[in-house]
Structure 1
């Protein structure tokens, strides 16, 4: 039974054991042409053999893109530019679990940002916080309407989005807004804002926030408390449990330590909005306490290669008896999960079954989405919030010349009935969208909605 063990976007690539480790070296100012070509070719090879989602980008001719990028990577003048070109190529795959990672410390030499926090809603970039002392010049709640004199959306499409690997459009725009003001260290970010009272202003802020402590004036936004698990009572008999990451098995112990109190509740709110994933085993262990029957989990498939079958499939046009091997030659053969699905055994003798509302959002990813797949058939569970990150799977990590790393998603998970959620996100039962008004509100609209619904039901 294959379990994924990788965070969707919070994991450190350097902590993962990868293949081709002998190719890692010190970061040089510029790689040789041989190293550049080798790294590009290594990436192309591993993606070609292992990537699980080519059918979700049917317009992409990956071999042609590889050839197109050969002169592009050879023309780069430093290692940072080289990795940027790899990121640009990788973005064509449109997958949140297929990524390029810079060599450790490299991006700090070339990239910084101003002391301005942004949130995305409806493709708008909303200022949620600024360095204390700048709040009169850039009032929190302002929206950025242009960068470097160019309309924001046009700027993002031209300068930012081409380098982002994302499975879903809502995460693509969320990431683009987050990165909108990035640039060379100690240069000025120049942008136009519309203040909450409707005034247009041209502002400039130095990009120097990466490595210094900053005190912000902010609009309060929903956030994790920084711990693996947060437990509290929300008045009456409603318990709140935030599960903020499945990457550490200690979260199971934390949950078990609070389970005596949790089991006294008459209603339960589980917050997965800040859970980027980790181990499906940890997610399953926790939900097994909250299930009234065994739960089917995701099923999966992975690209399958058998060299001899590929050779036979390549001559299927001449020899009809080899037709069954054609998918191997065309790269469309799959290895399927051994079981129809991964069935999770519920703790029927010690479970806790009450109306349960699960808060989800754009940062709910990977193993946290597997938690939702398990929960899908539970009638006492209701999801509230925004669509999830929409990316999961089991990546293979490979080292690149110069000390960087890339990963390729090799495993394609779906619901037990085959319903796809990678590339789309899991939609909530009760949608609470992020809007300009909700971002400016200083309130947690998702939690408030779940609490009202739960109180009404009780």
Structure 2
């Protein structure tokens, strides 16, 4: 143990050479040990990369110290504990079921061959909870990639009606594998069999979202891992390419060709205004985060207000932000000064009351509110009183209230679903697309080990009338599914339907 401590001290000293002012070293954890009943973290300064490589020969072989079996068991146990205590939907999942899963993982996590296998085991455990906002993530330097491959390949995939389709590819590879090509097999296994394995590790609230995320991560693997990918081009011809996972160089930008409207940057654009005949404005809103998105909306709004006779609000791929900001956006699209949104509650606990409920039976709770509450505390079933989200706005604000169609898909989630909950009471608004992600709620982050975190959904959220949508998604008023032919032809079927509903020919 002392030997390794001296080694890291030496490395830190070698890294602190003169003339390295631009290389301010960040502190990173390289080891954890248990002293008695206390977990001790040790750190070492590691220089930033310069031109894609670590500075100095002494850093060439640097890597994080692998997590020991004891550390893995500690992380698993902490994950089990925090989920058991905080997960908003534990009453539905079942405490006994969660305890059983924990016990089944004790031996496998200690026998994992490496950190990546251990990480995937925890991913699989979280995936069993079927909640997109309950997950595992890491900040360690795992050399993995999902879209970048050797020989200049960049490849993004999407799910279209049960087909795994190339949505974006490096421009110099587009002739070999054009956008719109369909993936048929990976390493000789049919794509559905391959996807089935990936989906077991994906945290998602609905099967639709689970499949979409699995498609996006389908080729995620360690750098240097080769895969034989069989595909069919739009013209019907088939081919096979060998893709070897690689990491992008620092600041690297690869020119790509994408299906119309489905390039990564375009799909995840913060804000955009597009005009259609009849003075119909389409507002693409990429997130409900405070800051630049709202500033862009605020700057564009006077022009939209003066001209637009109808609106399309495109919330597809809007997965981030706050419900307060969602309400702020909506307040400019309705004359209502009071917006009532989702109802939420969270789990609560009182140790003293739990002890009083330890001997209670279900029969004892009948007609006795205090015993009932004590019983719920003891059995991890107590919740706070439901709270309704309500937002008030001044009458003096700028408002544009016109016929409005909201575009949604299975990547419409979190604050965007809160926006829809608020908009449900607006008679001039309707929705078009596919069911949303069903993943609203507040996330609490907990450190399991240095470089390893879990996120846990701590709010149970419903519509104001008590109707559930988490785990189900919000169904649109008009369902429009993309087809492979539409995608290849560059047609946006949901947008076309929205324009049709607004009277645009």
The verdict on a shared fold, with TM-score over 0.5 as the criterion, is yes
Larger strand proportion of the pair: 2
Q: Distance in 2 between matches of 1:79 and 1:24?
A: 18
Q: CA deviation at 1:111?
A: 6.4
- Match for 2:90 among 47, 54, 57? 54
C-alpha distance in structure 2 between counterparts of 1:379 and 1:111, whole Å: 43
1:317 to 330, 346, 361: 361
Query: 2:184, 2:230 within 8 Å by CA — same for their partners in 1?
Result: yes
**For the structure 1 residues 108 and 440, does the alpha-carbon distance in structure 2 shift closer, same or farther, using more than 3 Å as the test?**
same
Question: 1:133 is matched with which residue: 158, 172, 190?
Answer: 172
1:373 to 390, 398, 421: 421
Match of 1:3 in 2: none
User: Contact 2:145–2:245 at 8 Å: present in 1 too?
Assistant: no
Distance 1:111 1:133 in 2: 19
1:295 to 330, 334, 339: 339
2:384 and 2:131 mapped to 1: Cα distance?
A: 20
Q: Deviations over 1:164-201 (max 9, x none)?
A: 10001111000111111222213322122223233343
**Matches of 2:68 and 2:113, distance apart in 1:** 10
Work out which of the residue numbers 108, 112, 129 in structure 1 matches 2:143: 108
SS for the counterpart of 1:220 is coil
CA distance in 1, matches of 2:92, 2:85: 16
Q: Supply the distance in 1 between the matched residues of 2:177 and 2:282 (Cα, whole angstroms).
A: 35
Q: Find out whether 1:432 has 2:469 as its counterpart.
A: no
Q: Greater CA deviation, 417-426 or 260-269?
A: 260-269
CA distance in structure 2 between the aligned counterparts of 1:24 and 1:454, rounded to whole angstroms: 62
The 1-side partners of 2:504 and 2:394 are apart by: 28
Q: Which has the higher contact order (CA 8 A, sep 6+)?
A: 1
1:402 aligned residue (450, 455, 479): 450
Q: 1:367 to 1:356 in 2, by over 3 A?
A: same
Q: Tell me by how many angstroms 1:230 deviates.
A: 1.9
Which residue of structure 2 lines up, in the alignment, with residue 77 of structure 1? 113
Give the alignment partner of residue 235 of structure 1, picking from 277, 292, 297.
Answer: 277
* Aligned-pair CA distance for 1:275: 1.5
Alpha-carbon distance in structure 1 between the residues aligned to 2:95 and 2:481 = 31
TM-score by length of 2: 0.80
Query: Which consecutive unaligned segments of at least 5 residues does structure 2 have?
Result: 1-27, 29-37, 45-62
**Structure 1 residues 23 and 166, CA, compared in 2 at 3 Å: closer, same or farther?**
farther
Change (3 A) 1:456 1:134: closer
Q: Show the counterpart of 1:326.
A: 375
1:140/1:231 CA distance change after superposition, 3 Å: closer
Larger mean CA deviation between 346-355 and 362-371 belongs to 346-355
CA RMSD across the alignment? 2.7
Residue deviations 1:103-157, cap 9 Å, x none?
A: 24x2335766442221102232011232233334323222112211111111111
Change (3 A) 1:140 1:112: closer
Contact 1:222 1:444 in 2 (8 A): no
2:465 is paired with a residue whose SS is coil
Q: How does 1:33-432 map to 2 (within 5 A)?
A: 33-57=69-93, 61-104=97-140, 106-109=141-144, 113-114=148-149, 115-158=154-197, 160-208=198-246, 210-211=248-249, 212-222=252-262, 225=266, 227-264=269-306, 265-293=308-336, 294-317=338-361, 320=364, 322-338=371-387, 341-349=388-396, 350-432=398-480
Q: 1:121–1:436: 8 Å Cα contact kept in structure 2?
A: yes
C-alpha separation in 2, matches of 1:24 and 1:362: 42
Q: What SS class does the counterpart of residue 164 from structure 1 fall into?
A: coil
- C-alpha distance in 1, partners of 2:163/2:95? 28
SS of structure 2 residue aligned to 1:439? helix
What is the CA deviation profile of residues 16-62 of structure 1, one whole-angstrom value per residue up to 9, with x for unaligned ones? xxxx9986967733112322121111111100000012345459811
Range 60-69 or range 24-33, more displaced = 24-33
Question: For residues 21 and 276 of structure 1, do their structure 2 counterparts lie closer, same or farther at Cα, with a shift above 3 Å needed?
Answer: farther
**Aligned partners of 1:227 and 1:383: how far apart in 2?**
21
Shift of 1:331: 1.6
Q: Match of 2:213, SS? A: helix
Kindly state the Cα deviation for residue 303 of structure 1 after the two structures are TM-superposed: 1.0
Question: What is residue 11 of structure 1 aligned with on the other side?
Answer: none
Specify the structure having the higher radius of gyration (Cα). 2
